[in-house]
């Protein structure tokens, strides 16, 4: 069953039940009040009749009195205590009441009874008769006319309910169409997207705060996100295939060259082996970076432990000096020299080292001058309510910053945000052999920083150099002190 049919059916049934319940309550309340009113009226009339008959019983025969006070549709009778010598008079339409059993009532009684499938109001009033005996003056009056009124009321309520169900049925149909319209539009749009392969948007109605407008807006936002991710994925696949095709082509070319001339040209053999080895290493690094970027952070198996930033930086300085013969200058904030325990943070040592290596490697590739590593403290905003007060610097929240500064070619301001995209290069004309890399390093560094709760930002001026600033959160637990001058 379709959702529109369900809405139509459920709303119609709900409103039908609501109308029937309401009308039933109205009928029960009205009929109860009407019957109680009739009972009160007959009871009051019987009291007056009993008083009048008692006063006139001396001068007027009892039979004449009964005929004078008999109801239009009913019966009046006098019942003695013994239940005998009963006098009664019935109206012409209620002769069957004469057969009703006689019962003497010691107390005043008023009730609604059913006799011969008809309902009556029965009232019995005890009075002292002219001979000194206590007798009951009993009046039984038919409720036929009241029953006809209630029957007419039932018919009217049923007709009103039936007529009211017509607009309810139509409104349920309209309501179902209104609710389903944006869902149907989304379904149709999805079918068009699947058929055409092009991302489409819903036509937005005027701004509103209802859920249907929010659903349409959410769908369009989702389409924007999917299209953006699709474009990035397409670009990524294109770039990845291009980047992987290049080393494979080089390897294949040199392998073919070796196959043809390698035995006769020793110098060509050395060149080919070196090129194949270099491209194989670059392709291996690129593949590892791609695989790591494809994983979720939960799959990186982070190991959080106390890490000394100075020791990590000094180790990388020694490795770069040995491998690339590049001088790296270390600078330490005076505050860190005074409080060397601030150099220790809780993080993953391997991932931190990988981040720093990526940033240092970029500085090495795009500059020929010395590289600078600065270890500093970045103080955050002081806690609220502390303005104008002197505070201990250690009490103010702070981050540890690692700045890697080079004096190379720099990055134009328009490209600063783009360099973190996969395979992005500021200068597409730059020969890859001059710099190496695959355009994945900064992307991977940012992903690692996000996993560690850190942040990376770049400050650069084209032609003057670049500063990569790695901001690490403050350690949350007291850790052992380390000397800032340790090697």
pLDDT at 383: 47
β-partners of residue 456 are 470
Is the residue at 280 inside a domain?
yes
Q: Which residues contact 93 (CB under 8 A, 6 or more apart)?
A: 73, 142
Q: What is the CATH number of the domain that holds 20?
A: 3.30.450.20
Same domain, 303 and 269: no
Is the residue at 184 inside a domain?
no
H/E run at residue 344: strand 344-347
Rounding to the nearest 10 degrees, give the CA dihedral for residues 470, 471, 477, 482: 50
pLDDT at 122: 93
Is the residue at 20 inside a domain?
yes
Same domain, 21 and 132: yes
**Comparing C-alpha atoms, which of 83, 71, 91, 74 is closest to residue 136?**
83
Contact call for residues 467 and 460 (beta carbons, < 8 A): yes
Same domain, 284 and 356: no
Same domain, 335 and 447: yes
Q: What is the CATH number of the domain that holds 219?
A: 1.10.287.130
Contact call for residues 373 and 402 (beta carbons, < 8 A): yes
Same domain, 364 and 431: yes
pLDDT at 32: 92
Among 231, 266, 294, residue at a domain's last position: 294
Is the residue at 191 inside a domain?
no
Between helices 3-56 and 62-69, what is the axis angle to 10°? 150
Same domain, 280 and 321: no
Is the residue at 406 inside a domain?
yes
Which structural domain, as residue segments, surrounds residue 8?
Answer: 3-150
Same domain, 468 and 366: yes
pLDDT at 297: 54
Burial string for 385-402 (b: 16+ CB within 10 Å, else e) reads eeeeeeeeeeeeebbbbb
Give, for all 487 residues of the chain, the pLDDT tens digit: 677 777 777 878 888 888 889 889 999 999 999 999 999 999 999 999 888 888 887 778 888 888 888 898 999 998 888 766 578 888 888 888 888 888 888 889 999 999 988 999 999 999 888 878 888 899 999 999 999 999 999 999 889 888 888 888 888 778 777 777 777 777 787 888 778 877 777 777 676 666 777 877 888 888 888 887 777 777 666 656 656 676 777 788 878 877 777 667 777 777 778 778 777 876 776 676 666 666 555 556 678 889 899 998 888 888 777 777 788 899 998 888 888 888 888 888 888 888 888 888 888 888 888 899 999 888 765 544 444 444 454 555 678 899 999 988 888 887 777 787 766 666 544 434 455 555 677 877 888 888 788 888 888 888 888 999 998 886 533 333 333 333 3
Same domain, 260 and 340: no
Is the residue at 260 inside a domain?
yes
Number of domains in the chain: 3
98 vs 71, 95, 125, CA distance in Å? 14, 6, 19
Q: What is the CATH number of the domain that holds 305?
A: 3.30.565.10
Same domain, 277 and 317: no
Same domain, 265 and 356: no
Same domain, 338 and 252: no
Cα–chain-centroid distance for residue 78? 78
Among 122, 150, 178, residue at a domain's last position: 150
What is residue 339's DSSP assignment?
A: -
Same domain, 132 and 44: yes
């Amino acid at each position: 069953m379709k959702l529109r049919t369900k809405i139509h059916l459920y709303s119609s049934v709900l409103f039908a039940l609501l109308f029937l319940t309401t009308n039933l309550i109205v009928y029960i309340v009205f009929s109860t009040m009407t019957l109680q009113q009739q009972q009160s009226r007959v009871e009051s009339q019987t009291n007056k009749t009993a008083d009048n008959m008692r006063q006139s019983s001396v001068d007027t025969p009892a039979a004449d009195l009964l005929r004078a006070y008999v109801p239009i549709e009913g019966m009046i009778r006098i019942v003695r205590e013994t239940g005998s010598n009963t006098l009664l008079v019935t109206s012409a339409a209620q002769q069957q009441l004469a057969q009703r059993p006689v019962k003497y009532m010691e107390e005043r009684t008023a009730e609604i009874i059913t006799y011969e499938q008809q309902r009556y109001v029965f009232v019995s009033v005890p009075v002292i008769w002219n001979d000194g005996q206590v007798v009951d003056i009993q009046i039984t009056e038919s409720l036929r006319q009241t029953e006809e009124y209630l029957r007419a009321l039932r018919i009217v309520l049923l007709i009103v309910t039936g007529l009211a169900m017509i607009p309810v049925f139509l409104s349920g149909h309209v309501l179902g169409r209104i609710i389903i319209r944006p869902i149907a539009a989304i379904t149709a749009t999805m079918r068009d997207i699947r058929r055409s392969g092009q991302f489409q948007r819903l036509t937005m109605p005027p701004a509103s705060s209802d859920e249907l407008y929010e659903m349409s807006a959410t769908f369009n936002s989702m389409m924007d996100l999917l299209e953006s991710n699709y474009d990035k994925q397409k670009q990524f696949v294109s770039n990845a295939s291009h980047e992987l095709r290049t080393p494979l082509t080089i390897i294949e070319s040199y392998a073919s060259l070796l196959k043809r001339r390698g035995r006769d040209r020793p110098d060509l053999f050395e060149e080919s082996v070196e090129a194949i080895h270099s491209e194989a290493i670059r392709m291996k690094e690129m593949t590892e970076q791609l695989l790591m970027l494809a994983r979720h952070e939960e799959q990186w198996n982070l190991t959080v432990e106390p890490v000394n930033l100075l020791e990590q930086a000094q180790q990388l300085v020694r490795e770069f000096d040995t491998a690339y013969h590049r001088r790296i200058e270390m600078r330490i904030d005076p505050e860190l020299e005074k409080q060397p325990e601030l150099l220790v943070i809780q993080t993953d040592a391997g991932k931190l080292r990988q981040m720093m290596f990526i940033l240092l490697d970029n500085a090495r590739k795009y500059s020929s001058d010395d590289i600078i590593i600065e270890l500093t403290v970045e103080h955050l905003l002081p806690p609220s309510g502390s303005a104008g007060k002197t505070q201990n610097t250690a009490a103010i929240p702070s981050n540890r910053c690692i700045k890697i500064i080079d004096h190379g070619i720099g990055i134009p301001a328009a490209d600063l945000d783009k360099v973190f995209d996969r395979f992005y290069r500021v200068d597409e004309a730059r020969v890859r052999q001059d710099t190496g890399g695959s355009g994945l390093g900064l992307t991977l560094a940012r992903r690692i920083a996000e996993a560690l709760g850190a942040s990376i930002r770049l400050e650069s001026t084209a032609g003057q150099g670049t500063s990569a600033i790695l901001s690490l959160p403050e350690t949350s637990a007291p850790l052992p002190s380390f000397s800032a001058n340790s090697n």
